[in-house]
Structure 1
Amino acid sequence: MVNVYFEKLYRYERKQEYVGVAIPFKKGEYFDLDKLSVVQKDKKLVHQAKVTAKYDDGSIKFAYVRFLADLAANKTCFATVLTGKETEEELKEATGITNLDALSLENVSKLSCNVNKEAGTISVDTGVLKFSLANNSSNIFSKLEDGYRDYTEDNFVGPNLSVKNRTSEDSFKLDNYSFNIDSWRVVEAGAVSAIFEGKGHHDLIEESENGAKRIDFELRITAVSGKPYLDVAYRIINTSDNPLEINSLEFFVKADVNKACDNELVDMAKALHESAGGDSTGCGDGAIDNSKTSGPVFHTRGINDLDDILSRTPVDTVRTVAARSNYKTDFYIGRDGFNANVIADDKGLLKEGNEHFAEVLYGTFFADRTDEKSGVCATIYQAMQNYPKAIKADKNGIGVMLVPENINKVVMQSGMAREQRFLLHFHGPEESMVEIDNRSLIYQMPDLGVISPDVFRESGALMDVFPTKLDDDVEIALINRCDAHDRNYGMLNWGDSVDQGYTKQGRANGKPVYSNNEYDYPHACALQFARTGTRRFYDYMANHASHWMDVDVCHYSKDPLRIGGMWEHTGGHIVNGIMVCSHEWVEGLMDYYHFTGDERGLETALGIGENVLRLLDTPMYAVPGEANARETGWALRALIALYVETNDKKWLSKCDWILDSFITWEKQYGHWLAPYTDNTLIRVGFMISVAIGSVMRYYRVFPRQDLKEMLIRAVDDLVDNCLLDNGLFYYKELPSLARNGNNTLLLESLAIAFELTADIKYLYPGFKTFKKTIGENVRAGVSNKTIVDDAVHVAGDSTKGFAQSFIPLITYYKALTEAGINYEDIR
């Protein structure tokens, strides 16, 4: 029995809200999900569940459960996942009765998500929407019915792609592309929801010199039982050999098949003769007086004056709305089909104040068109974070501009991908604008189910990051370190971090060097979410994993050593980038899969693993000691993680080879020394610690006495040779480099030695490093913003800091509590 908690969030009740949660299980306890159910008060909830990971004995490690819950207005609530093994007492505690069969099933007769496949077409009926997806089509939907209007394929246009083909730095010609869906498949389907993936391509319409002839894309549509909306995700992939400068990328819903709305964008403030100044925080301090406004467009902030304005913009002459929010929603409402639009660009973001953790919420961004027959609203997910964006409504329909023309610059390097999402909400003419706004905001910040950290700890499904005794100062420091990262707005930058250290070293010739999620920031955030239940750590994980899967992984290349691999930190994410085993991670992607149910996390991790195997066959890794401990250490960590996840022995094929190289390396040099200058072999403590941590992860799965002894010798060597008189470890073992070190990876090595021996002596050398790190003044919050190339950079620390330090800090912290040492004792 697992209680799933929903924090107090929205002021309105949500009936049968679509939610999902990851449930971990103990090894050997559950082998199928047949008896799993979800209950809330005295009702069973409609649910669907899938296994996302198994233990090596075939039992379930993780399941992802989707269900429709009733969520209370303005207060917390919970639902309970039952496994079928509850005692009568536990069942009574959860439901109030001892016979689960006596519970009614929540509105099951009104719900359906029927999926039929035949003759290259997938037909879907959610109980509210009916639509079809056809192979070999030039439209997303071949038809759609919402109960108010019947749409044909011609009502849906694109996304259409236009590219700037540069003939010189200052001149270009436009290459326009067709939109072609090759095939659809059902990713997942059940009583609650269905997910569909389409693969397709854009073809160059007219022959063009140096123009890319084909650009691939993927589509993903999520439909929910009983709901009038669809989540649409479009992922463009630069399958050309050159950078792709996108001129525009636009999707249209036409009210009439004969004409779509154009892509003209209007400055709404000028259209209303409003001052461009005012409160940039959107806090709504200044009221907007519409008493003397005659239209055809009206402006209001918040929902208090909506009724008055809507009465002056009747749907029988076509009402248009465009809106975005920061605090309260700014509505531009048009009469007689007047063009209403909103724009997200770098200059607007630079001058706009926003106090949210933007991974969780910045605001909403939508357009709605309603006539006397029906309406449709489109909401772009995280539009400001993924600028440039625009959205508009006019008499002819809706325009969703994933890249609007002539607003900022988007250049995708070869092999890059990037997904953008939007919600299509179909409704009747009577639908209230309050509910349209409400649904759009919920799309930006959906309700999230959270389970107790005790469930994760007791399951053993995750790394043990659960100290038995918590210290407030340590917890505050860990939270601050996670929150203090910088943020980089921009379609290709959101979900990544600029590393100022690398940048100042000149690694990108003065350009910002993106960390490319170095040290696996999503993994650290996933573990922090599991141990605290704090919502924003989940969103940090999800946003960074999304960017990682798209931008930081190579989706296309003529070089097989790049395909599926992860780029090392570099300028422009991948410009002049390389791939090496020391900068390829997989654990955060698998966490993302478990916590979201999105199988692409696992698929991306597997692709990185394949790339690691290919790299290990290159000459660089042929001689033990020639590649430093970090290189093969990280490779070992990735491969053993993939084996634990999949139980596929192919991932072990190189593990014994790496371990043998470590053994040979130690014998050859006496310890894990690394070549530095042509005539030196030195100790690099943090690189040795990477090797120790990786070998220990293998040891936990396959215990061996020789590995245990090698690990202890390595830690002993670190303590004997790398510790300075002041209690800190040095950076590297050369007079020119033996400065005070600040790398926390050595703390994990000490915790590992304690785990292997239970000898408290291994914890003492880490006191000064731990104390210094926890005591550092790290602050999260709003910081200065600058426009740098295609990014609005919000200053902060690189995510590398938290990603690198979290597991060492938490494992050492846990070891202290197990040894009976309180943090206050070492302060």
Structure 2
Amino acid sequence: MRTAWLLTLLGVTTMSLSYGGEVVLHRSDPSNVQARAVPVTVGVPFAVGQLTDEKAVALFDAGGKAVPCQTAVTSRWWGRGGSVQTLLVSFLADTAQERYVLRYGAGVSAGPLPTPAVTAKTDGDAVVVNAGVLHARLGGGFIQQLAYDANGDGKFTADETVVDSGKPAVLRCGEFSSAFGKPERVEIEEAGPIRAVVRIAGHHQSPAGQKSIAYDVRLTFYAGLALIRLDHTFLQDTDQVFADLPFVSLDLPLAMGKASVTFGLDAGKEATVQAADGRVGLLQVGPGQKESIAGTNSEEFRRILEERKKWWSPDEEARWTKGPEITEWATTLADSTGKRKVGERAAGWMLVTPEGKPWALTAGVRYFWQLHPKAFALDRGVLRIFAYPDDLGRPLHLHVGTAKTHTIVLALHPTTTPLHPPRRIPWLTTSYFPSPQWYCDSGVWGQVLPRKEGQFSLYETEASRTIRSDFVERPERSNGYGMLNFGDIAWGGNKWGNLETAYDHGMAVQFIRTGDREVFDCFERAVWHFRDVDVQQAKVPGAWDWGLWLIPGYMPEKLAQECDKDAALREKIFYWTGTQPPELGGVHRHSYMHFANAADNPAPSTTSYPEKRLRMYSGSCDVGGHGWIVGLVDHYLLTGDRRSLEVAELAGQWVLKRGGTGWGRDNWKNIDLAWLYRATGKQEYLQRLMEAIDVIYNDRESTVERIAAQDKTLMSPFYTILQFFKHVHQMTDDPGVRQKFLDLVTRWIDHVPTADSHIGPVFQYVRDYRDSRCHTDFADLAYAYLLTGDRKYLDKSLNTFDFYLHFAYHSTAFFSVPEYLYALDKAGLSALTDPAPSVRAGKAFWADETDKPVKLVVYQQSGYRVAAGETTGAIEVTSPSGKVTSTKIDRGGLDVYRLTIPPDGEKGTYKVEAKATGCYFWLAADVPLL
């Protein structure tokens, strides 16, 4: 247990505080909001046995004053005594406070209640919420009534009614609405005192009772605040493979007459218009993704495209021949005078100020322009917030099983004191997080090490650079925006990553190690995308899902429909169609436009696999080698977001239904189950894991044979297997699992073959292949060292680890490598001290006017999954006078060359150039390279 101490100046005397321990929560806010009461909810982790009584917690500000808070246990150390693993803490923060302190344990009792508190109570079929200044009635329809105490006198007068009971706020999808038919769920998930959460779920229906898509909305209210956060999810779960949705909106009829409306535009600009009997609105659009197919310049592809024109719809023909209809960012304002462009990327908020009312309403959508298309409108007194606008001229063509969640904020305030500035408060970006040391010490994410200045510098530099490049810079480079795209990253040919390999989990671990808010925001955006778009969340009608195959132009929708019916036609076009139909909880693999596969396919005529030439791969949607849901569990533990866990459990149920046991990289499914057990404690997950451990361990004698075959495979035989063994042991402390884990990892380290490199012997499968399946091996070895204290697990692998981490910055690195770094730190070992590559090419220059020695590091690669073989080449360093020093290159694959250029009496510009057949190079030095 962590104990706080008061040091004195009198020698070594210390005095224990009168409570068990404390967690310091540090302010984090990229928007730098200044306010006295900002909602904060954060998941706080605890080590095994650290917090046994969840009621023995209280929150204090930096000055020691007790602060009201609300807590809930979101997970426990289920297999190790049941103490709290993660505690969800909600409070209203004064942003002038840089930190808050959560005290816990013996001697701590619950703190004060807020005045006023927020309450949520059932009233018949409805729920009534009282937040002090805000009253709401929720249920059939949606928001049945809303009132705001604008003058703060504790009463609600007629002019303080915002939504009248006769005209409720509703959810709409074209002609279908939540106003027709009862919701299927109205549930109080949290009832105060700091925040109340009410979930309303059902289907948009027609007046005749016909159902359209589903809605699932969580409304969050806060004590004493006139603020509502709505996490609004719509899901295409109809009986059609595709549904055409004219628009999707939240409509709030406001109890008012005329009003002025202000829209937030680019760069802090605003536009104010008057609204009376007509409609005023703001439309945000952005450029679409340009569909492309690898190999389209070949004669065969042009012939195939010509043949398939007869199947094209006008929309597909336009997409293929003319590019996307929208090619640039545009924000368009519409009022009684017409339409006009007023910017490119709007801020995503609007302010409605009614005439003659004491209240005004600010509404906002988080990531408004990034999730384009979006729109706001005030239409004859109805505030309309569009998840998909009604004036684009084309419907949203949405695949079954696809969902989308938007965070909408409604903030009421007196007309005389509007929010300043209104663009900031709605986003709720303020948080207070524990320190990286606290996160790491909890053990919830394994034994990981906080980032330390100057330690393991190559890894820390490249890890930060890679995440920022992929999730901050790449969206701008590759147009990674749009409602179904934002949060994922596009690879070549619009082949989407779908967060390979659990990239969101990697970012979660990087965040807890660093406290980097930018990493947390990237992680959260990735989770939001993945859980909505990449996980199948509804059953597919029929025996086949022809929608998975669509690639505009090459695989038109009409042709796909015919393939559904015609097996011979299907066989002609596809070399693999996967498991059909995709089932609830399956994860889409590298989806094209997020619901069909592999823009790298159809395979080119030059492929070495004749059966694949000019045919397509399609249909993978399962939870195996590409079913990564760990990041969803991370998000639940870090934020308490229930939807993340709910979607993760969909995939978990798929595994329990379809997943088997045994060797292979598909043991990702067992890592998923391990994390679901961590979050839920459900025995069905643990039981399957124990069965899988027994099946693999009973076949342990094949280990040496599998290791011997590594020169013909891409990865170690244990890639994902020992990872889930490790997770199970961490969560249960089961001695049998410990023994089996150590037996298998020892068999592996004692028999793994090695090969020479230019920095010494390294594991052969790492030297010969570049693949993402190696990081976890180092985490396994680190755990074996921590369990036994035996240095051989580190000594035999350290050089390979240092070698491999010159190249392998992939999602798996971010959650595996920190465990090895932790072990190195414990053992007092060093690694990864070379400079990071500054030139990602084979040629560079540097200026030397001092004639001092220069350290060069040359990083050699042969490409992803390209077998290493003999080659010819050299690294040449040319001095200012033209003198050439050469280092021979005779083998491909990965290699590292550490060269020292000694003083030679020359000054001026030096050149280094690396060339070898079948290889490419990165260059680094302890001087600036040009």
Question: Is the TM-score greater than 0.5?
Answer: yes
* Equivalent pair of 2:247/2:386 in contact (CA under 8 Å): yes
Please show how residues 719-798 of structure 1 align to structure 2 within 5 Å.
719-720=753-754, 738-741=768-771, 744-745=774-775, 746-755=777-786, 758-763=789-794, 770-771=801-802, 775=806
Kindly provide the CA deviation profile for residues 696-735 of structure 1, in whole angstroms up to 9, marking residues without a partner as x: 33344433334411222123343448999975656699xx
Q: Which runs of 5+ in 2 are unaligned?
A: 1-21, 150-158, 289-325, 332-344, 541-579, 597-618, 836-930
Structure 1 residue runs without a partner (length 5+): 88-99, 164-174, 258-315, 355-360, 504-511, 779-800
SS at match of 2:441: helix
Q: Which amino acid aligns with 2:128?
A: S
Q: What residue is the counterpart of 2:486 in the other structure?
A: 494
- Give the AA of the match of 2:718: I
- Residue aligning to 2:694: 660
CA contact 1:666–1:672 (8 Å) conserved in 2? no
Describe the SS at the equivalent of 1:58. Answer: coil
Report the counterpart of residue 170 of structure 1 in structure 2: none
Query: Partners of 1:176 and 1:156 in 2: how far apart?
Result: 12
Q: Quick one: distance in 1 between partners of 2:82 and 2:772? A: 42
Query: How far 1:49 sits from its partner (Å)?
Result: 0.4
Match of 2:902 in 1: none
Alignment of 1:247-646 (within 5 A): 247-255=246-254, 318-325=259-266, 327-334=267-274, 340-347=280-287, 363-373=347-357, 374-393=359-378, 396-407=381-392, 410-432=396-418, 435=420, 437-438=421-422, 440-444=423-427, 446-466=429-449, 471=455, 472-485=457-470, 486-487=474-475, 488-500=480-492, 503=493, 512-558=494-540, 562-575=583-596, 576-616=619-659, 629-631=664-666, 633-646=667-680
- Counterparts of 2:496 and 2:515, CA distance in 1: 29
SS at 2:26 equivalent: strand
Matched, 1:49 2:41: no
2:83 to 48, 59, 62: 59
> For 2:287 and 2:581, how far apart are their aligned partners in 1?
40
Secondary structure at 2:585 match in 1: coil
Task: Provide Cα deviations, 1:741-766, integer angstroms capped at 9, x if missing partner.
Answer: 56542433443454455444544565
Q: Matches of 1:385 and 1:14 in 2, distance apart?
A: 26
1:803 aligns with 2:811: yes
Structure 1 residue 420: Cα displacement: 1.6
Cα distance change of structure 1 residues 539 and 154 upon mapping to structure 2, 3 Å threshold: farther
| 1:194 to 2:205 alignment | no
Residue identity opposite 2:43 in structure 1:
A
- For 1:688, what is the secondary structure of its paired residue? coil
Contact 1:18 1:69 in 2 (8 A): yes
Displacement, 1:430? 1.8
Q: How far apart, in 2, do the equivalents of 1:725 and 1:428 lie?
A: 69
Q: In 2, distance between residues paired with 1:468 and 1:332? A: 47
Distance 1:496 1:206 in 2: 39
- Write the letter of the residue equivalent to 1:412: L
SS state at 1:584 partner: coil
Code of the residue aligned with 1:20 in structure 2: it is T
The offset of 1:226, in angstroms, is 1.0
- Inter-CA distance 372–729: structure 2 relative to 1 (3 Å threshold): farther
Question: SS where residue 519 of structure 2 aligns?
Answer: helix
Contact 1:561 1:615 in 2 (8 A): no
Q: Where does residue 785 of structure 1 map in the other structure?
A: none
Query: In the TM superposition, what whole-angstrom CA distance separates every residue of 1:617-669 from its partner, at most 9, and x where no partner exists?
Result: 5xxx6xx5xxx5101x2122222333333333221332243233323544357
1:225 equivalent in structure 2: 223
Match of 2:874 in 1: none
Q: In the alignment, is the contact (CA less than 8 A) between 2:48 and 2:77 conserved in 1? A: yes
Distance in 2 between the 1:468 and 1:441 partners?
31
Q: Which moved more, 1:176-185 or 1:534-543?
A: 176-185
Task: Give, in whole Å, the separation in 1 of the partners of 2:760 and 2:262.
Answer: 65
Contact 2:623–2:654 (8 Å) recurs in 1: no
Shift in alpha-carbon separation, 1:525–1:758, aligned structure 2, 3 A: same
CA distance in structure 1 between the partners assigned to 2:262 and 2:813 by the alignment: 47
> 1:579 deviation in Å?
0.8
Which range moved further: 521-530 or 219-228?
521-530
CA distance in 2, matches of 1:814, 1:493: 35
Structure 2 residue 633 is matched with structure 1 residue 649: no
Give the SS at the match of 1:515. Answer: coil
Query: Which AA in structure 2 matches 1:694?
Result: F
C-alpha displacement of 1:557: 0.8
Question: In 2, distance between residues paired with 1:390 and 1:660?
Answer: 55
Q: Could you tell me how far apart the structure 2 residues matched to 1:352 and 1:589 are?
A: 31
SS at match of 1:31: coil
* Distance of 2:643 and 2:741 partners within structure 1: 34
**3-state SS in 2 of match to 1:495:** coil
Rounded Cα–Cα distance in structure 2 between residues aligned with 1:674 and 1:131:
67
CA distance in 2, matches of 1:569, 1:630: 17
Give the aligned partner of residue 54 of structure 2: 33
Structure 2 residue 121 is the aligned partner of structure 1 residue 116: yes
Q: Distance in 2 between matches of 1:725 and 1:80?
A: 48
Task: Give distance in 2, aligned partners of 1:329 and 1:726.
Answer: 60
**Paired residue for 1:158, among 170, 176, 189?**
170
Count of paired positions? 672
| C-alpha separation in 2, matches of 1:82 and 1:176 | 47
TM-score, length of structure 2 as denominator length: 0.66
| SS of structure 2 residue aligned to 1:141 | strand
Contact residue 320 and residue 394 of structure 1 kept, 8 A? no
In structure 2, C-alpha distance between the alignment counterparts of 1:15 and 1:83, rounded to whole Å = 25
Match of 2:747, SS? helix
Q: CA deviation at 1:599?
A: 2.0
Q: 1:337 to 1:764 in 2, by over 3 A?
A: farther
In the alignment, the residues of structure 2 paired with residue 353 and residue 484 of structure 1 have an alpha-carbon distance, to the nearest angstrom, of 25
Pairwise CA distance, 1:53: 0.8
Look up the match of 1:702. 734
Look up the equivalent residue of 1:146 and give its one-letter code. Answer: Y
Partner SS for 1:641: helix
Question: Of the candidates 142, 145, 164, which is equivalent to residue 144 of structure 2?
Answer: 142
Per-residue deviation at 1:321? 1.3
The equivalent of 1:292 in structure 2 is none
- Distance, in Å, in 2 between the alignment partners of 1:816 and 1:751 is 8
- Which stretch of the first structure deviates more once superposed, 16-25 or 454-463? 454-463
